[in-house]
Structure 1
């Protein structure tokens, strides 16, 4: 009996000592927290509770302020660990998501599919009618809703204008990856399939169910979402929990899994309008080059991301039960969704728990 007890004790001690020190400290039995749908209540978790490195906090915040940030949030298990505002921004100030909002369109398209209003494998013209591009009928009929979700429509990406005259043939659908504003046609598809205005459907099926605020605004030819920072964090939390808000399924897990894994064999770092870290290679907007390695080499390999112009960011990291939000102006006076800012930012985030 004594020998057996000692053996078990040795195993337990070994397992405890072998824990990866880079993982955030969370209680294994701690449940995922979801803030109430209404009100400003949101549970917090301190740096001390997590046994993180307090001395790494100020360098991170200094860097964020230096790089034109307006807001920054870290959630662990749904609880706020850091929440900071800079340069005159506040918790109630709305800000644009830019292309990070593409993931909202992806999510609502998935919701419409689970309600049997549409099928992403259907050709787009089933919902919008023929002539929504200036391609031949045969070429246009190749384009499915899934091609819009994966940026593989084959349409000419030299302009953001999505009027039919500007949607010209470049390649057969599915044969070329190119970052293109034509994804917004999915909002028209949802409108036609649901019989509701896009924003009304979005609000009732997603926004209001998880307590977000915000609205869609038209900027030039783009439909852009604006909200406060906590609303962006709520959406990130929903995706951390695989489409469920507490026990309520907002987006089914099958579609969530498709959306957050490689969606085609050209750009391995892209899902359904989500960027994916940790893949063998990736493409960037406005480029046909293949880049080897991970999109953000300093970031966790299982991270998936919503990335927008001027460094609007939602980073979701399942292995660390984390969501990280950054809103603001361009970190380096660039207009890119991805920049060197991501690499350095993740070095400073890593310093919190290494």
Structure 2
């Protein structure tokens, strides 16, 4: 009997081996490489909704919502490839539009580039580069303000004085640097710091070190008391892709990863949702512009927790989501006649985006 059982087991094993050899397990699909578009021309690889396994039925509700909410340009990248690119309300792929405060992240990036080139140290006081008297504070208080304080909105300067004006008379003392978070356009003084430290104009240094290296178009233009960046939607997407790849464009390091990590991590212990001019989702609490109120929870509850964002007036958006390998861009007019960088529009928009793949 034991010989019979042995023979049957042997035969079964042989059949199993034969079955496995004739029907081998499928090979794992190789990981898709991260794509970067050429620096010039209009070539940009695409990826279809279907090929990603996303839901085609969710596309039109998203587009309808974007058009309803006064959008002009919208792009979704996955692994660098365009999955959605849509224009609304008379806008086109070649039309420039302003970034508003989403462009603060350009200044943050250029500051990091200048530091890695040894031109400045963000821990040094601002007056070391542009001289004293750039505020109306006492010399002792002014000298407390470092470049890092400007990057983190913790300068302590009064945040409601004369709107966007950054002349010395408007930059008044409210608190010691580092003790108070307040959204303020005084960050633009970093552009003066970089111009002085580099011996070049802000525009020249920006174009040479960032814009031209990643194939962006666009330019800085005067808006009120400040300079604002304007570009096509695709150029905004290029910058988002650079930051998705932690400061590298293909194999070229534009911004070193250490600074990138600092910039996209909580930068002070007051507003946990803020890095170096980047907004951070998924933190335990956050502050809104023009408010000292600590709000519990994530900035955009419906969006991924690892998302970091460039947010500008009238709902200019760069969303970077490492866990989804995604970059999402939205340009346009204010979705709900709200001028702040953050509004309920973000949360509803992300519900529509989530419907594509959930």
Matches within 5 A, 1:41-190: 41-158=43-160, 159-190=163-194
SS in 2 for 1:185: helix
Report deviation, 1:28: 5.2
List gaps (5 residues or longer) in structure 2: 1-9
How many residues of Structure 1 are paired with residues of Structure 2 in the alignment? 336
Give me the whole-angstrom Cα distance separating, in 2, the residues matched to 1:263 and 1:223.
25
Give me the whole-angstrom Cα distance separating, in 2, the residues matched to 1:344 and 1:334.
15
Name the CA shift for 1:205/1:306 in 2 (closer, same or farther; >3 Å): same
SS in 1 for 2:72: strand
Which position in structure 2 is the counterpart of 1:40?
42
Give me the whole-angstrom Cα distance separating, in 1, the residues matched to 2:227 and 2:293.
28
Which position in structure 1 is the counterpart of 2:318?
314
SS in 1 for 2:200: coil
2:198 equivalent to 1:225: no
Runs of 4+ in structure 1 deviating by more than 2 angstroms, as ranges, are none
Report deviation, 1:222: 1.8
Report deviation, 1:336: 1.2
Which of 295, 304, 313 is the matching residue for 2:299? Answer: 295
SS in 1 for 2:205: helix
Give me the whole-angstrom Cα distance separating, in 2, the residues matched to 1:28 and 1:267.
41
Give me the whole-angstrom Cα distance separating, in 1, the residues matched to 2:166 and 2:88.
36
| Structure of larger gyration radius | 2
Give me the whole-angstrom Cα distance separating, in 2, the residues matched to 1:308 and 1:222.
14
- Quote the RMSD (CA, aligned, Å): 1.6
List gaps (5 residues or longer) in structure 1: 17-26
**Could you give the per-residue CA deviations for residues 156-203 of structure 1, whole angstroms, max 9, x where no partner exists?**
011321000110000000000000000000000000000000010000
Give me the whole-angstrom Cα distance separating, in 2, the residues matched to 1:297 and 1:334.
19
SS in 2 for 1:191: helix
Scaled by the length of structure 2, the TM-score of the pair is: 0.92
SS in 1 for 2:277: coil
Give me the whole-angstrom Cα distance separating, in 1, the residues matched to 2:282 and 2:217.
32
Which position in structure 2 is the counterpart of 1:334?
338
Scaled by the length of structure 1, the TM-score of the pair is: 0.93
2:358 equivalent to 1:350: no
Give me the whole-angstrom Cα distance separating, in 1, the residues matched to 2:260 and 2:288.
23
2:316 equivalent to 1:286: no
**Could you give the per-residue CA deviations for residues 203-258 of structure 1, whole angstroms, max 9, x where no partner exists?**
00000000000000110012100000000000000000000000000000000000
Name the CA shift for 1:262/1:28 in 2 (closer, same or farther; >3 Å): farther
Which 10-residue stretch deviates more, 270-279 or 157-166? 157-166
Report deviation, 1:155: 0.2
Give me the whole-angstrom Cα distance separating, in 2, the residues matched to 1:331 and 1:160.
22
Give me the whole-angstrom Cα distance separating, in 2, the residues matched to 1:203 and 1:71.
23
Which position in structure 2 is the counterpart of 1:237?
241
Give me the whole-angstrom Cα distance separating, in 2, the residues matched to 1:259 and 1:60.
31
